[in-house]
Structure 1
Amino acid sequence: MTDSTADPSRRDVLRASGAVPLGAFAVDGTLAGATERAVDELEAALADVSPAPRPASFDGWRPGDLHCHTVNSHDVCADPTCEEPWTYGFTTAEQVRNAELKGFDYLAISDHNTVAAQSDSGYESSELALVGGYEHSLANGHAGIFGVDSVYEGPTDTDGALASLLGRVHADGGLGVINHPRTSISSVWEYGGPVGLDAVEVWSIAWYLRSDRTGLGSNNHLALEMYDAYLDAGHRLAAVGGSDSHWRITDPVGGVGTPTTWVYAPSGEATDVVDGIRSGRTFVSWDWNGPLVKIEARTTGRQYDLAVGDLGRRFGEHAAVRTIVSGASGHRVRLIVDGILAAETVVTTPEFVWETTVELEGDRPQNWFRAEVLYEDGATMRAITSPVYLTDDGRPVDPEPVDTPVDVPEFGEEARPGDTDSRCTCHPDGLRRAFYDR
């Protein structure tokens, strides 16, 4: 981990990035500005990256990062010659150590179109599982390919071609993730839906990076809209996050684990992590210390027999949901049901349990619900779960067609009606967020 005292440019990076403590966010989710005091506070927080103890209620949940790069990626250099990439990016051994220092249970190094890191001498750890993979530069977007030890070749210029490539990945036991689908920095997702991928990176780099407010941004609020629209269409996809860590200079504000993806993988083995993602047993948090959140549900009886990622049978028009939150006192937690903000409350204790009943739209082929934890201002995202799903017979449904818009907002662009928080709500009532209803 880079020592802050050894990098004189670090304070300038913190000022320029607007990476201020959460308390400095305005109510509407914009940045209030990085003062010298704010920079001091953030530097102090970054000085100790050690993880907090995990509560017993989250046993089996494994923290890690599914999206980070090393000097093996072509874009870690600040000059076109790339003669000394280690001065800009991290070596394989350094990224592994960065993850170990934060108490991670797994790490996936996702260099662009190469698995060279897996052959490096530094690709080893006695403290965490290394998940093989890479980031595939597709014709119309980027995808993380995991659980593999080689790069898959083939055309990706059409939905069918991409589905064919993903079929080979799945046959070999791997999975695919739609990476930063609404970014203004790299490549937006331009395919007609998830096209056979298993998860969506709903949180890339810092949550607050929006191109309409900062010029460049991962636009996570739009990625979450797209994700919800896919769920509405009948898809079942895991929600994941990734730091997309590339460079030493941005490590203070976008290093490994910001955000962190938690996967339910009791054994902690790399194959178990991949299976957990494939099963949708995930949640994403601000960093390696959380907050932690999960949901359980029941549609009949007294036992909460459905967990994140499960597909259950729908009985009637209601479902009971239990939300468990750790390390988020004073925050807000809310339930999103079929794209609607259905319930919300304040987290009042360090280990918080909230039981409530939500209403289901009975005319839908598939119902789904997930939880979000937000900062006290109700605008800054702190954690997101994957959903629980319900259908009439407890079986998967055939997804409906869904279009993926490719435009991203320009810097200074006027907000859409209802865009009152960092999740970019899309209707004046501030509830409905499926992008095809704009």
Structure 2
Amino acid sequence: MLIMRRYRGLCLLLVVVSLCLSACKPDSAGDLSSALALQAAGEAEAMPEADDAFSEPGWYKGDLHAHSTYSDGDSDVATVLQLAENAGLDFFVLTDHNTNAQWADGAYAQGLYELTLLYGVEWTTDAGHANIWSDAPFDWPTIRDQSMGAPVDEWTMTGGDAAAAIDLAHAQAGVSREVLFSLNHPSCALYSWQYSYADSLQADCIEGWNAGYDWPNLNELAMGDGLVPSFFDKYAQEGFKRGLKYALVGGSDSHKHKANLGGTSWFETHFNNVGTPTTWVWAESQAGADILRGLKAGHVFISRSPRAPRLNLVADADANASDYELMMGDTIKLAAGQSRTVRFKARVFDAKPNVASWVRVIKNGKPFLVANLSLAGDYTVDFTDTVKPGDYYRAELKQRPGADELLGNHLQSWTAAVTNPIYTW
């Protein structure tokens, strides 16, 4: 039964190939009623890089999913942390499978690097994987012992009670500690999230973008591109009924960091290292608690790598033409039955030259509009729509990978960046 559960997604291969091919072609904007304006380089609002000052509000970039020799990674803690720092990340967390032994490693200490280190474990069962993150060490043995079954292998447990794990994790949060629970690679053909929504509804985040390649992770099915129903859209729509929101995040899930010849180790070393993809968080500071609060709020977008083009989404819901007061993760609040015309702005930064590129806006899990980009640099895509409770909007940047990026056009999708939604409740 374990083998069947792990490999049942393989039957989707032909379907996925077809979907990936269709995702690589710009959509027609069709007969859309929204007002659309495209502004080229020089007119986009400036988006700074992550702040140098530890205490300043701004964008901070990091990797939320990685492994070391304390579970099934091939590199020690110091090596992995050095890779994260070399990548220019601002925060990082090791999420080894079902162990917190990495926390006691002498290299895993605040102050040795410019990185903010979070404390994490990948809750790993034969029915799904999830990351638990905190800004301080937490009681992992209690979560493990009260929510997991017997071992399947060295790093995997049987069964597992996802609802109990989420409750146990959240119970450890306090004034000086943030604790989040994130569902990992939920649509992966090999290790999908098989727990029901009822068992998972109190989760905080969904790892829609896992690793630097699409197979077997099926990221398009996890985070959605408006072409097929996605795991994230199901949770977003079910969450609306209960007043719950889920942050869309990414993680490299990197295991192999040594340039060994041949096999998976060589493949991952070259094509899925730390920071692919990169999760960007708007936070009050670089402190771990603030990073986690930003994640929880959904003030997040994801880029293909730390150096890839970036994308964010803002909205003006108060009719103040000079101010876009809402960002990704925020909510436009309306009374039942009320509607309102809202201005949105999708902002692209550092689009690559001479490659096919377009911004797709997704409304309620379905394509809403497409704007093709013709030049390198920065763009803004402005549009308006009449919103009502239950609507949510997010954006994605599609761009053909360059020859120097991971696997080029072969296994990597054309997704260069995605935003979290702006909601209407």
TM, length-normalised to structure 1: 0.68
For residue 208 of structure 1, report the CA deviation from its aligned partner: 2.5
CA RMSD of aligned residues (A): 2.4
Gaps of 5+ in 1: 1-25, 31-53, 77-88, 210-216, 392-438
1:197 Cα deviation from its structure 2 partner: 0.9
Q: Distance in 2 between matches of 1:102 and 1:335?
A: 29
1:280 and 2:289 correspond: no
- Partner of 2:65, secondary structure, is strand
Q: 2: distance between equivalents of 1:268 and 1:159?
A: 30
CA contact (8 A) 2:251 2:279 kept: yes
Q: Determine the structure 2 residue equivalent to 1:356.
A: 383
Q: How far has the Cα of 1:349 moved from its partner? A: 4.5
Aligned partners of 2:147 and 2:162 also within 8 Å: no
| Aligned counterpart in structure 1 of residue 205 of structure 2, from 199, 202, 221 | 199
Find 2:252's aligned residue among 243, 248, 251.
Answer: 243
* Aligned residue among 82, 85, 95 for 1:110: 95
Give structure 2 stretches of 5+ with no counterpart: 1-19, 25-45, 52-57, 149-159, 224-229, 258-264, 402-408
- Of 350-359 and 98-107, deviating more is 350-359
1:381 counterpart = 2:415:
yes
Q: What are the superposed Cα offsets for residues 2-47 of structure 1, whole Å, 9 maximum, x if unpaired?
A: xxxxxxxxxxxxxxxxxxxxxxxx95468xxxxxxxxxxxxxxxxx
**CA-CA distance at 1:66 after TM superposition:** 0.2
In structure 1, how many angstroms separate the alpha carbons of the residues matched to 2:97 and 2:273? 17
* Contact residue 105 and residue 127 of structure 1 kept, 8 A: yes
- Structure 1's 247 and 132: CA in aligned 2 closer, same or farther, altered over 3 A? same
Percent identity of equivalent pairs: 28
> Offset at 1:155?
2.0
Structure 2 match to 1:127: 114
- Residue 269 (str. 1) matches residue 287 (str. 2): yes
Question: In the alignment, which residue of structure 2 is the partner of 1:165?
Answer: 168
In 2: Cα distance, 1:163 partner to 1:108 partner: 19
Name the amino acid aligned to 2:195. Answer: E
Counterpart of 1:56 (choices 17, 35, 48) is: 48
- For residues 219-240 of structure 1, the C-alpha deviation after alignment (integer angstroms, 9 at most, x for no partner) is 1111121001111221411111
Deviation at 1:167, TM superposition (A): 3.2
Does the residue aligned with 1:277 lie in a helix, a strand or coil?
A: helix
Contact in 2 for aligned 1:182/1:189 (Cα 8 Å): no
* 2:147 match: 155
* Cross-structure match for 2:349: 326
1:61 Cα deviation from its structure 2 partner: 1.1
Tell me the CA shift for residue 166 of structure 1.
Answer: 3.6
Query: Compared with structure 1, are the counterparts of its residues 29 and 342 closer, same or farther at alpha carbon in structure 2 (3 Å cutoff)?
Result: closer
Q: Are the equivalent residues in 2 in contact too, given 1:295–1:321 (CA < 8 A)? A: yes
Residue deviations 1:305-358 (CA, integer Å, cap 9, x gap): 111111222462432101111112452111111112111102344121221113
Q: For this pair of structures, how many residues does the alignment match?
A: 320
- Residue 135 of structure 1 and its aligned partner are, at CA, apart by 0.7
SS of alignment partner, residue 56 of structure 1? coil
Contact residue 375 and residue 382 of structure 1 kept, 8 A:
yes
Of 128, 133, 139 in structure 2, the residue corresponding to residue 146 of structure 1 is 133
Indicate how the Cα distance of structure 1 residues 258 and 317 shifts in structure 2: closer, same or farther if over 3 A, else same: same
Q: Which amino acid aligns with 1:105?
A: D
Tell me, in whole angstroms, the C-alpha distance in 1 between the residues paired with 2:313 and 2:50.
11
Opposite residue 273 of structure 2, the aligned amino acid is: G
Question: Is residue 169–residue 175 contact of structure 1 (8 Å, CA) maintained in 2?
Answer: no
Quickly say closer, same or farther: Cα 1:128–1:367, change in 2 above 3 A: same
Q: State whether residues 89 and 306 of structure 2, in contact with CA within 8 Å, keep that contact through their aligned partners in structure 1.
A: yes
